[in-house]
Structure 1
Amino acid sequence: MHPNNLDLLSPENWPSYELIDSGGFEKLERFGPFTLSRPEPQAIWPKSLPESEWQQLATAVFKRDKGSQEKGEWLLRPKMVEKWFIPYQQSSLNLTFKLSLSSFKHVGIFPEQAVNWTYIQQKVSALPVEKPRVLNLFAYTGAASLAARQAGADVTHVDAVRQVISWSRENMEASGLDNIRWVVEDVLKFVRREVRRGNTYHGLILDPPAYGRGPEGEKWLLEEHLPELLHACSDLLDRENYFLISNLYSLGFSALILDNLMTAYFKNRPNAELGELYLTDRFAKRLPLGVFYRFSSH
């Protein structure tokens, strides 16, 4: 059964984060004490603040390398640091994230995902299971893993990049948590093996990128490999007590594509929600940042 409507979800009441302005294919964001200016391909509208104010507010500005859509370097103002920590306190969650300026413009968290962290905490807490098993795939620096762990889940965190696993461990320790299982492996290889072993999980979290590489050079292409991944995940999800979240960031994938995929591979999808994640800047412009699908047994 399809969700009744498309939902628009955005985080609220996070003092450590603010989208100040967006436009001109850029976004201006405050993370704790620092304000960053970086590219944003979906912000095709004009900026609300003048360029001079962007330059005055930004403590770091990301500039792409010539000929590259992703890589670049950060231009730092005198008071800017290479890494810092910010808290996230919402609902029953009390987490701490390390932020750092990467050569791919990322800083370690995707703020729009905060609505899913709360969802994960609520769903894990509602499961009538003593220690729910949660699997986080393409888990990046682990905010979703931390939310599940703080709610009492037994968490397996899978990512192909060893450096972001180390980053996730720092976030776990900064948040006062422990005992997350770290797996550095190609996601498809991992889920295929888990299916063969007959393992199941009460919670599945999927954040597949448009493209990527595994530790041994394995290629990931969203349009080519996502159907196989979802098919395998349908075997991994517990039949009685469960929740699932999937996010897509590729500009070419609409929410309806994700809906059709979920319909094809998951017969039972109670409490299903489908829609877009977004952030709102000071001028009420809403910046879309991916589509999501989630459902749960409770």
Structure 2
Amino acid sequence: MELSLLTPEQWKDYELLDCGDGRKLERFGTVVMARPEPQALWRPSLPEAEWEARAGAVFRKSKGSDERGEWLLRRGTPQQWFVGYRNAAGLSLKMRLGLTSFKHVGIFPEQAANWDYIYDTVLKLRAGGTERPEVLNLFAYTGGASLAACAAGARVTHVDSVRPTVTWSRENMEASGLEGIRWVVEDAMKFVRREVRRSRRYNGIILDPPSYGRGADGEKWVLEEQIGEMLSLCSELLERENCFVVLNLYSMGLSALLARTLADSAFPQAAGAAAQQGELYVEDAAGKRLPLGVFLRFRR
């Protein structure tokens, strides 16, 4: 089994400037920020004084919390702003960013490598005779993958349990000049179980599950306990041909081999398909590669 290392190569509005000592220094559009990154185990390349001089926003964890914190802003640094993403194949997106109390800003830049794949795959499905591919995006966050599928002509169902996040996704759709995405505010597992009972079918399924989460009605999600059932249910929803799957796992300690074995167990469509698995990463200005998740994807 060959493992692939993928990084987005067409970001003009994103740059990893440096990383190390459990932090990363990034540029999103015109905003430079410093925030925690547990995967950055090495020493940074730039001196601390340069980090301090360049960062307009610095995230500090709250005492006693591993997740929550606050942003320290230099005068003139916005709380919200927009960035764009464009690739050579014609995908063009515009997304709003914002500084959240969980250190996230609204996009995961490494996922652009999957957005390119989704856009290209939907175009190929349409060229092969599937006029409006049906695509399901689970744990969909602010919708980069949903927008990529929609931009290529898919009929997209976007599922996330957090209503403000779905509202954010809708803003990104409108900013990108797109329309027609179906928004579902619901626990992903509950939604998938109901779709199976309805005998629904999708040409594409995208999953980006967190390690841990809560559904819209307090449902508990624990990745290690429920990912097997989730993939098994998704297999029942996936068309047997003219279909694709994108699975992303960013929990520390999970491997590409694990993702491939999960997919082989759940999806008969993956057998004989050109499945691709590996790691997503971004590279800083000094050439250090920062791993940010594992992926598995195939098309049949």
Task: Give the structure 1 partner of residue 258 of structure 2.
Answer: 257
Q: Secondary structure at the match of 2:259?
A: helix
Task: Give the structure 2 partner of residue 175 of structure 1.
Answer: 176
Shift of 1:67: 1.0
AA of the residue aligned to 2:28? F
CA separation in 2, counterparts of 1:257 and 1:87?
33
CA separation in 2, counterparts of 1:125 and 1:165?
25
Identify the range of structure 1 (255-264 vs 15-24) with the bigger mean alpha-carbon deviation. 255-264
CA separation in 1, counterparts of 2:14 and 2:234?
33
Shift of 1:192: 0.3
Residue 126 (structure 1) aligned to one of 121, 124, 129? 124
Task: Give the structure 2 partner of residue 105 of structure 1.
Answer: 103
CA separation in 2, counterparts of 1:80 and 1:252?
35
Shift of 1:13: 2.7
CA separation in 2, counterparts of 1:217 and 1:14?
37
Task: Give the structure 1 partner of residue 282 of structure 2.
Answer: 279
Task: Give the structure 2 partner of residue 83 of structure 1.
Answer: 80
Task: Confirm whether residue 239 of structure 1 aligns to residue 236 of structure 2.
Answer: no
Task: Give the structure 1 partner of residue 17 of structure 2.
Answer: 20
- Residues 18 and 24, structure 2, Cα contact 8 Å, conserved in 1: yes
Task: Give the structure 2 partner of residue 141 of structure 1.
Answer: 142
CA separation in 2, counterparts of 1:290 and 1:23?
17
Task: Give the structure 2 partner of residue 36 of structure 1.
Answer: 33
What's the CA shift string for 1:183-221, capped at 9, x where partnerless? 000000000000000001000000000000001110000
AA of the residue aligned to 1:279? V
What's the CA shift string for 1:20-69, capped at 9, x where partnerless? 00001000000000101000000010110001100000010000001111
CA separation in 1, counterparts of 2:10 and 2:283?
12
AA of the residue aligned to 1:262? A
CA separation in 2, counterparts of 1:119 and 1:263?
20
CA separation in 2, counterparts of 1:201 and 1:37?
40
Q: Secondary structure at the match of 2:72?
A: strand
CA separation in 2, counterparts of 1:108 and 1:198?
33
Q: Secondary structure at the match of 1:165?
A: helix
Shift of 1:257: 1.1
Q: Secondary structure at the match of 1:156?
A: strand
AA of the residue aligned to 2:16? L
CA separation in 2, counterparts of 1:16 and 1:215?
33
Q: Secondary structure at the match of 2:298?
A: strand
What's the CA shift string for 1:6-30, capped at 9, x where partnerless? 0000011311110000001000000
CA separation in 2, counterparts of 1:260 and 1:121?
25
CA separation in 1, counterparts of 2:208 and 2:23?
23
AA of the residue aligned to 1:225? Q
What's the CA shift string for 1:103-141, capped at 9, x where partnerless? 000000000000100100010001120100000000000
Aligned pairs for 1:152-171 (under 5 A) are 152-171=153-172
AA of the residue aligned to 2:114? N
Shift of 1:252: 2.1
- Residues 241 and 269, structure 2, Cα contact 8 Å, conserved in 1: no
Q: Secondary structure at the match of 1:268?
A: helix
CA separation in 2, counterparts of 1:268 and 1:145?
22
Q: Percent identity?
A: 60
CA separation in 1, counterparts of 2:253 and 2:191?
26
Residue 74 (structure 1) aligned to one of 71, 76, 96? 71
Structure 2 segments unaligned to the other structure (5+ residues)? none
Task: Give the structure 2 partner of residue 290 of structure 1.
Answer: 293
Task: Give the structure 1 partner of residue 151 of structure 2.
Answer: 150
CA separation in 2, counterparts of 1:130 and 1:42?
42
Task: Give the structure 2 partner of residue 185 of structure 1.
Answer: 186
Identify the range of structure 1 (10-19 vs 185-194) with the bigger mean alpha-carbon deviation. 10-19
- Residues 256 and 277, structure 2, Cα contact 8 Å, conserved in 1: yes
AA of the residue aligned to 1:36? M
